[in-house]
Structure 1
Amino acid sequence: FTISYWIVFHTYFDPFGRRLAHPKTDQPGLHALRAVMVFASNMTYFAALAVLPLPDATALFFIAPIMITVLSIPILGEHVGPRRWGAVIVGFCGTLIMVRAQGSTRGDISIWIYLLPILAAFFYATMQVLTRKLAKTKASAMAFYIQITFVLFCGISGLIVGNGQFVGGVQHPSLVFLLRAWLVPTAADMSYFVLIGILATGVGYCLSQAYRSAPAATVAPFEYVLLPMSIVWGWVIFADWPGLPVWFGSAIIIAAGLYVIWREHKLSSQD
């Protein structure tokens, strides 16, 4: 929230408090929708992390690049041939393997929880495709509109559920995580929040630039580097180690994504 505030503030004012030019756009509706997708993706993904191990949630989230390939057709008008459609189907099969296997072997976790990171992936994929559609918008304007809308949604959410009034009687851990009363962060917590804000801002800027500069179906598969990182950090910090179905399903999803990369490169070289 702090980082978002400073991005919004300094888009309007310089360090000396002088007003700067307003970040203009002729598509405010798409910017608002893009910010809503960011908010929804964060909510569903962190609700999943309240229950699922980090490697499991991250592996399921990586259906997002496959979804980007699909969404680029109706939203961007990009052409996806039969071979890439085959990769999309294979990627979804990998997701089903993880969901069915983990849902049947972990009786303490409802199978519906595994839909949360998939929903998060859908919202994230929609946001990135909209980023490509808004490619002509300046990066500063993109950052401003997404942050101010995100801050607005977070503020409204805090006013509605921030006092914990809806958590009574709720048993589901994901809902408890979302509806619990907000706490005032300690000084140590604030240092982590600032670090997370800086990192998230940098990641968001780099991804936005990538999706503005290249076809969505080309950029998306490169995000798979997050998967091995999440496995390492999940093991180091939380002692979570993915089971065999997660490894198998992840391998299928990654293979499908890498095929998309290879196919895109081959088609572009022919052009």
Structure 2
Amino acid sequence: MIHVPRQNPALAALLIVAASVFLAGTTLLAKALGTDALGPALHPMQVSHGRFLFAFLLVASVVLTTRPRLSRVHWRLHLGRTSCGWVGITLIFAAVAYIPVTDATAISFLNPVFGMLLAIPLLGERVGPVRWLAACIALVGALVLLRPAPSSFQPAALLALAAAVVIGLELIFIKALSGRERPIQVLLVNNCIGLTIASVAVLPVWESPNSAQWAALASLGGLMACAQFCFVNGMARADASFVAPFSYATLVFVALIDFAVFGVIPDAVSLTGAAIIVAGALLLALREARLARA
């Protein structure tokens, strides 16, 4: 039987905001590693490998120290979930090397929309008018960020859009895993499988990182593990409709860090597109929570 944490909305909000800070840090580190900020740019698959390597080491250390009770592992669900997660995070790391981090982050927030759309054929779910409206609003925001005019179109933004689709598929597996295993076990198995996949995929593009890049890779993996821990535990302590708004704080932190480190200021198009996507995603989150209560 899985232990359900006691509901604590204040703690849940704090954990989700902390996860947002950690996620913002991982995205900016990925940008630094994917450009020449710390040395010769590393391939996105090598950045993804570092993320899984050091996240696994941190989670495994916690498991060995605390020795939690582990239950039966649902390997097929984990394999599907982690495969999608690896593809999604690799695409995001590739995107942030070419487009503003705020744009890539905002586009990635489309994943619940694509998760809803994919649930129609895969889970047989029915979608009402409010959920379709939310999806259309969010997709309009993505179209704004893609800047479809010939003079301003950003091809690399399609990488972030593809990441949102794949992570949307990952949500299907996460929904299937929900409540079946403890959060720490999910994190351990997820990072173990992810490290295995990433270690094979990185072989053709591997280049020896310099000391600064090794430090950045270790920090990226550690921050991602912390973000996962905070997010999983935050979601377990409050309703999704309550915590959803706090998760979009990632956009704020990304913009602040991007400005402080790289001197990038989001333009009007970026701010408009991000606001539209967040509005659509929030409407969808509120509708999902209402359906869950019903």
- Considering the TM-score relative to the shorter chain, is it more than 0.5? yes
CA drift of 1:21 comes to 7.2
- Residue 112 (structure 2) aligned to one of 65, 68, 79: 65
1:185-196 paired onto structure 2 within 5 Å: 185-186=210-211, 188-196=212-220
- Which residue number corresponds to residue 55 of structure 2? 3
Query: Against the structure 1 CA distance between its residues 220 and 104, is the aligned structure 2 distance closer, same or farther, given a 3 Å change threshold?
Result: farther
Query: Against the structure 1 CA distance between its residues 97 and 144, is the aligned structure 2 distance closer, same or farther, given a 3 Å change threshold?
Result: same
CA drift of 1:32 comes to 0.7
CA drift of 1:208 comes to 3.5
- AA aligned to 1:95 is A
Q: Is the 8 A contact 1:57 1:117 kept in 2?
A: yes
Q: Distance in 1 between matches of 2:103 and 2:160?
A: 9
TM-score in terms of structure 1 length: 0.75
Matching of residue 243 in structure 1 with residue 277 in structure 2 = no
CA drift of 1:134 comes to 0.3
- Which residue number corresponds to residue 166 of structure 1? none
Identity of paired residues, percent? 25
Q: Distance in 1 between matches of 2:60 and 2:127?
A: 37
- Residue 150 (structure 2) aligned to one of 79, 89, 104: 104
CA drift of 1:156 comes to 0.9
- Which residue number corresponds to residue 76 of structure 2? 29
Q: Is the 8 A contact 1:55 1:242 kept in 2?
A: yes
CA drift of 1:213 comes to 7.4
Q: Distance in 2 between matches of 1:214 and 1:35?
A: 25
Q: Distance in 2 between matches of 1:76 and 1:8?
A: 33
Q: Is the 8 A contact 1:98 1:249 kept in 2?
A: yes
Deviations 1:152-211 (A, max 9, x none): 12211232221xxxxxxxxxxxxxxxxxxx22341x444433332222112112334456
Larger Rg: 1
Q: Distance in 1 between matches of 2:185 and 2:176?
A: 14
TM-score in terms of structure 2 length: 0.69
- AA aligned to 1:146 is N
Q: Distance in 2 between matches of 1:3 and 1:193?
A: 10
Deviations 1:111-130 (A, max 9, x none): 43211001111222222332
- AA aligned to 2:81 is R
Query: Against the structure 1 CA distance between its residues 126 and 209, is the aligned structure 2 distance closer, same or farther, given a 3 Å change threshold?
Result: farther
Matching of residue 133 in structure 1 with residue 176 in structure 2 = yes
CA drift of 1:92 comes to 0.7
1:62-211 paired onto structure 2 within 5 Å: 62-76=109-123, 78-101=125-148, 104-106=150-152, 111-135=154-178, 136-162=180-206, 182-186=207-211, 188-209=212-233
CA drift of 1:75 comes to 4.5
What secondary structure is seen at the aligned counterpart in 1 of 2:193?
Answer: helix
CA drift of 1:7 comes to 2.9
- Which residue number corresponds to residue 6 of structure 2? none
CA drift of 1:72 comes to 4.1
- AA aligned to 1:160 is P
Query: Against the structure 1 CA distance between its residues 23 and 256, is the aligned structure 2 distance closer, same or farther, given a 3 Å change threshold?
Result: same
- Which residue number corresponds to residue 43 of structure 1? 90
Q: Is the 8 A contact 1:68 1:125 kept in 2?
A: yes
Q: Which has the higher contact order (CA 8 A, sep 6+)?
A: 2
Q: Distance in 2 between matches of 1:98 and 1:82?
A: 25
Query: Against the structure 1 CA distance between its residues 201 and 77, is the aligned structure 2 distance closer, same or farther, given a 3 Å change threshold?
Result: farther
Q: Distance in 2 between matches of 1:50 and 1:99?
A: 16
- AA aligned to 2:252 is P
- AA aligned to 2:56 is S
Q: Is the 8 A contact 1:132 1:211 kept in 2?
A: no
Q: Is the 8 A contact 1:66 1:257 kept in 2?
A: yes
- Which residue number corresponds to residue 179 of structure 1? none
**Which blocks of at least 5 consecutive residues in structure 2 are unaligned?**
1-52
**Which blocks of at least 5 consecutive residues in structure 1 are unaligned?**
163-181
